[in-house]
Amino acid sequence: MSRVAVVTGAARGIGAAVVRQLAGSGWRVVAVDVCADLPGADYSLGTREQLRELAEQWPDAVRDVVADVRDEAAVRRAVEVAVTEFGGVDAAVAAAAVMAGGRPLWETTDEEWDALFDVGVRGVANLARATVPVMLEKPQPRTGRFVALASSAAHRGLYHLAGYNAAKHAVVGLVRGLATDLRGTGITATAVSPGSTRTDMLTATAACYDLADVEEFSRHQLVERLLEPEEVAAAVCWLCAEESSAITGTVVHADGGFTA
């Protein structure tokens, strides 16, 4: 029987790459995205058309759901799609996040702070609250997986991105606490910390620094290039698999050597 995943932030970027790889490997996936721009994030987010096109590539395997991860009830409704149409949840991937910054912490607005934490931290918690009880309903031996996208910013201070730093540190702390809560259940919780990856969020980060070209970020990574979303997605998808059972409560650094 195919395994089932719920993926947030799925319209584009790493989230979309995760959906494509899981669906291409025989998973059934509920792809979730807000498909709207949000206050505090000064760039365009994924669209309804992008999310729909992703689902249309695998009409039998992917369901597209428009939902705001800040709204716990909306996340629960998205998870219910996985239960009613695919029979349950085996993995949850919290990839929804936004970028805001470009100024020192004392000049960061409440609107930017709220966007960073409500999407990037509360959204992760909401997905865990909605999916973990469903995974716990399965009998032992369980193989449920919860994977959250953190960032190299969860491990290094980045100039004029203190709010983003704080939110991503919070994701790592949340995952470690969740993994401890899940002790002995067979369900694991992990984080993946990408480095500079060729996504719209990286373009927004470049704008924070008034950079004309995202390629300037590549010099911070040992691979001396930007990562592609598919490379990070490969790490996420492996953590979703039953074979990743030894990994929990920790971070996989898919960062091209940024934190080496």
**How far lies 157's CA from each of 43, 63, 110, 166, in Å?**
23, 37, 20, 9
| Dist CA 253 CA 190 (whole Å) | 11
What DSSP state is assigned to residue 142?
A: P
CB 202 within 8 A of CB 226: yes
Tokens (6 digits) for 106: 């004392």
Neighbours of 111 (CB within 10 A): 14
List the catalytic residue out of 43, 159, 164, 209. Answer: 164
Active site residue 164: yes
Distances (CA, A) of 239 to 29, 121, 196, 216, 221: 15, 20, 20, 30, 23
Positions marked catalytic: 164
